[in-house]
Amino acid sequence: MVIFAAGAALHAGACVRPAQPTTPTAVNVPDADLDALWDATLAVLRRIEFRPDRQDRATGLIETMPITTKQIWEVWREDVADQYSQTQANLQTMQRKVIVRFRKIGEPKQWQVDVEVDVYRLQQPERQITASSSGLEAFSSQLPTGEGQLLARGSGNYLEPMGRDPALEGKLLGMIMQQSQTYEYQPAEFPPTTTQVTEGG
């Protein structure tokens, strides 16, 4: 009974979605070596298998391609930083994309490093199942979609935005600081943003 209760508590904790951040996940580096930070960022992204899609030194931006989030048996991968994200990825196909921004905030060597991880859920078009035998073709291109279209398998899929992953943002930011041997930095402070809700639409 004790084991069951402990397991149930662990499962319940894994099902609680972390609160969405209202400010960027960023640090201010007072004496930054931008080249070292940039190279360290690329090294960390390669280590976690995020492939850069865009690198713009002029605007201080590195953006990756989305990758499918690891499954629980892929113990060698490091792209999950909390139990909720792992549980979610075990149940449905999730993808993550990383955006790293470098902003000059003062003197020539004062920079801000901002890590954003956007989360997406892979959605597929619904298929029409009009007979029991149709179930055999449920995952093929032989069944029409809800709109009556015959689409090749994988065609019509799209990524649904699911917010940010603050746990992975913090993990990546710490790895970048360590990889670049940057030991003097402070969490960046931002005024919290609020969403105004208007009643009646």
Structure-block tokens of residue 118: 């956007």
Domain boundaries, the chain: 20-121+160-187
Q: Are strands 67-68 and 61-64 parallel, antiparallel or unpaired?
A: unpaired
Which pLDDT score is estimated for 108? Answer: 77
Start-to-end C-alpha separation, the chain: 49
Helices and strands, number each (H, E), in the chain: 4, 8
Distance CA 143, CA 151 (A): 8
Confidence of residue 191 (pLDDT cuts 50, 70, 90): confident
Question: Residue 125 class from Cβ within 10 Å (0-12 exposed, 13-18 middle, 19+ buried)?
Answer: middle
Distance CA 94, CA 105 (A): 35
Average pLDDT over residues 92-121: 94
11-15, 33-37, 72-76, 100-104: segment of lowest average pLDDT: 11-15
Q: Which residues of 174-199 are buried (b: 16+ CB within 10 A; e: fewer)?
A: ebbbebbebeebeebeeeeeeeeeee
Distance CA 24, CA 148 (A): 43
Does position 196 have pLDDT exceeding 60, yes or no? no
Q: Which of 146, 123, 120, 144 is nearest to 134 (CA)?
A: 144
Three-class DSSP category at 39: helix
Q: Which residues of 21-31 are buried (b: 16+ CB within 10 A; e: fewer)?
A: beebbbbbbee
Average pLDDT over residues 102-127: 88
Average pLDDT over residues 2-23: 61
Structure-block tokens of residue 178: 């360590």
18-22, 91-95, 111-115, 166-170: segment of lowest average pLDDT: 18-22
Question: Of the ranges 48-52, 148-152, 156-160, which is most confident?
Answer: 48-52
Model-level pTM?
0.75
Confidence of residue 1 (pLDDT cuts 50, 70, 90): very low
Whether residue 63 contacts residue 96, with contact meaning beta carbons closer than 8 Å, is answered with: no
Q: Which residue has the tokens 């993808």?
A: 95
Which pLDDT score is estimated for 130? Answer: 53
pLDDT mean across residues, the chain: 81
Top-tier CATH class for 20-121+160-187: alpha beta
Confidence of residue 193 (pLDDT cuts 50, 70, 90): low
Which pLDDT score is estimated for 17? Answer: 79
